[in-house]
């Protein structure tokens, strides 16, 4: 490679490292939302409406990144929160970004810590087509209660069966001349699943992971 090409290449490199292949994922963003209630900060949670993706699950407000509407993932998180909670953007104060979560289901979640400036959750005009209900839990509850930890086993499959029961090869490892161990499923990697139980709510997965991250940061202060 010529020296001038190397110099041009250096200008193409990002100022901060990103996620290789992020555009191949379902990209979303959420606000890990805090609200001051009686002098104590609470996390603000949603229960997702029955008619939408991942119905009935508990989560933070947020949604899919839309390149036509959003200039950044932070804009996505704010836009979705405004739509879901029926508030205005100036009622949200973003404290800063959290680490991006890369989920094994093919999703990335860019998360931001924010403060909700409302007097009472009853003041929210919830979008019931997306949100069944809103509730809050004191941050101290999670500081005093560690999550339960479970594991799922992940495998890579170079083929699958279609509806007719026929094998569909999506990665022809044998024809590519790769070692025999890649001709069938491989991996068998264990991945942690964090779970918090709060009343009748089971908060797990990405949401629980984000809670755990924030609480760990608080304890480091």
Q: What's the number of domains the chain is made of?
A: 1
* 49 lies in some domain: yes
* 121 lies in some domain: yes
- pLDDT tens, residue by residue, 139-194: 999 999 999 999 999 999 999 999 999 999 999 999 999 999 999 999 989 999 99
pLDDT at position 1: 60
* 172 lies in some domain: no
Q: How far is CA 73 from CA 1, 92, 152, 164, 221, in A?
A: 36, 15, 29, 40, 27
Separation of alpha carbons 74 and 82, rounded Å: 12
* 134 lies in some domain: yes
Q: Is residue 100 exposed (0-12), middle (13-18) or buried (19+ Cβ within 10 Å)?
A: middle
* 182 lies in some domain: no
Please name the residue that has the structure tokens 């010529």: 2
* 164 lies in some domain: no
Task: Judge contact between 145 and 64, C-beta under 8 A.
Answer: no
- Please give the residue range of the domain that contains residue 89: 21-152+187-219
Domain at 115, CATH number: 3.90.79.10
pTM of the model: 0.92
pLDDT tens per residue, the chain (221 residues)? 676 788 889 889 988 889 999 999 999 999 999 999 999 999 999 999 988 877 899 999 999 999 999 999 999 999 999 999 999 999 999 999 999 999 988 999 999 999 999 989 988 999 999 999 999 999 999 999 999 999 999 999 999 999 999 999 999 999 999 999 999 999 989 999 999 999 999 999 999 999 999 999 999 99
* Two tokens, residue 52: 């939408």
* 168 lies in some domain: no
């Amino acid at each position: 490679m010529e020296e001038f090409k190397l110099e041009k290449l250096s200008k193409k490199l990002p100022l901060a490292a990103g996620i290789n292949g992020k555009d191949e994922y379902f990209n979303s963003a959420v606000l890990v939302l805090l609200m001051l209630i009686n002098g104590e900060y609470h996390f603000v949670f949603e229960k997702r409406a029955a008619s939408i993706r991942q119905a009935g699950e508990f989560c933070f407000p947020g949604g899919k990144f839309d390149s036509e509407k959003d200039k950044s993932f932070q804009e996505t998180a704010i836009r979705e929160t405004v739509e879901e909670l029926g508030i205005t953007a100036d009622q949200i104060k973003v404290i800063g970004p959290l680490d991006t979560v890369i989920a094994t289901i093919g999703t990335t979640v860019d998360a931001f810590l924010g403060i909700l400036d409302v007097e009472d959750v009853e003041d929210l005009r919830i979008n019931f087509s997306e949100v069944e209900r809103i509730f809050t839990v004191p941050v101290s509850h999670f500081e005093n209660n560690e999550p339960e930890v479970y594991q799922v086993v992940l495998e890579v499959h170079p083929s699958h069966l279609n509806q007719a029961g026929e094998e569909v090869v999506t990665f022809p490892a044998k024809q590519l001349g790769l070692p025999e161990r890649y001709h069938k499923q491989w991996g068998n990697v264990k991945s942690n699943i964090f779970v918090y139980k709060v009343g009748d709510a089971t908060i797990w997965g990405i949401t629980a992971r984000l809670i755990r991250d924030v609480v760990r940061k608080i304890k480091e202060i």
